[in-house]
Amino acid sequence: MNISDHGHSAALPRIALIGTGGTIAGAGTAPEAAASAAYRSAVVSAQDLLAAVPGLQRLARLQAEQLLQIDSADFTDDQLLRLARRVAALCARDDVDGVVVTHGTDTLEESAYFLHLTVKSAKPIVLTGAMRPGTAPAADGPVNLLHAVAVAAHPSSAGRGVLVVMNEEVHSARDVAKVHSMRLDAFAAPHGPLGTVVEGAPRWYRAVTRPHTLHSEFDLAAIDALPLVGVVTSHGNMQREIFDAWVALGARAIVHAGFGGGTVPDYLKPVFHELCASGVPIVRCSRVGAGPVIRNASFDDDACGSVVADDQNPPRARLLAALALTRTQEAGELQKIFDRY
Ligand code: ASP
């Protein structure tokens, strides 16, 4: 890929756009597609997405590439690694000033967090998507893409870690999540957005203090495949066999999305002790999706050898656990990583 200036000012930042699919690349499938739920995701090319947004060329010199064309539900760890390697390669180039990734919203928070922890660059990396396909009335994709490029092209966005731009808000990949299945304000973070997009530029209100990107210890070059980590979500009447199934599959750790503050049912406590003793650490987080799980609060983590995930939600705890396992298998060291990130 060569980023050319297409006749525009050579002073404009050079932004690489990576298309991966999702609803932002979706199109209605029926005449009644005025209803935005009837559509196919991942059909419009990254080039066509750019062409559909007036004003983009005034913000940046843009070059699009299609890395994947999938519904984000179909992301595997291999594809996640492929995306991270491509973003890292683009960020390493002198002729790229920032990267925008268009992505399905269903797993956008997972890809964003993985890039946040693995791409060694201070250049702006922005993910965006859409809740409605481009054919829907009041489609949100074009304005989200415009804002994503505006944020990626703005010098103040550098060094803030990976950002998610949706619905005029700029979130940190550390804690943003999809919290609604349909609404345009589907993305939220427990500690609030880092900023907003005002008059076409980011306006910042807070910054993340936990390490990321350049200061992260995880090394993509040293990872061929991510260690397998399972997630088991709590509900009434749980069965231990689900945990055993993850062990049989070769899981190196299991994230338990417990009730409330991470509560473990009494009947599972001996199972957790057994698993941790056998070398498969349990990482305790909450199915609630916000707020920390406190070590030793409702469960004796010290006695069990389990780990608490601080305020990370289950999908992000899975990714951090998998990356942490590329550094250590020891529960105390895993805990330090969860405390740090
Ligand atoms: N299923 C779609 C996806 O995640 C939803 C979306 O993009 O909003 O790819």
| Residue boundaries of the structural domains of the chain | 14-215, 228-340
pLDDT band at 9 (very low <50, low <70, confident <90, very high): low
CATH number of 14-215: 3.40.50.1170
> Which ligand 1 atom sits nearest the alpha carbon of residue 70?
9
Residues 93-110 as b/e (b if ≥16 CB within 10 A, e otherwise) read eeebbbbbbbbbbbbbbb
Q: Tokens 């298309």 — which residue?
A: 19
User: Is the CB of 71 inside a 6 Å radius of any atom of ligand 1?
Assistant: yes
Is 318 in contact with 251 (CB distance < 8 Å)? Answer: no
Q: What is the pLDDT of residue 4?
A: 44
- Residue pLDDT, tens place only, 176-195: 999 999 999 999 999 999 99
Structure pTM?
A: 0.95
**Spatial separation of the C-alpha atoms in residues 334 and 134, rounded to whole Å:** 43
Q: Same fold for the domain at 14-215 and the one at 228-340? A: yes
User: Is the CB of 128 inside a 6 Å radius of any atom of ligand 1?
Assistant: no
The residue ranking higher by pLDDT, 38 or 112, is 112
- Residue pLDDT, tens place only, 235-245: 999 999 999 99
Q: Single out the catalytic residue among 20, 23, 102, 213.
A: 23
Residue 162, both tokens:
């990976």
CATH architecture of 228-340: 3-Layer(aba) Sandwich (3.40)
Is 226 in contact with 81 (CB distance < 8 Å)? Answer: yes
Q: Which residues contact 196 (CB under 8 A, 6 or more apart)?
A: 168, 169, 170, 202, 203, 205
CA nearest to 147, candidates 116, 193, 114, 206: 193
Q: Which residues contact 254 (CB under 8 A, 6 or more apart)?
A: 229, 230, 231, 232, 243, 246, 247, 275, 280, 281, 282, 283
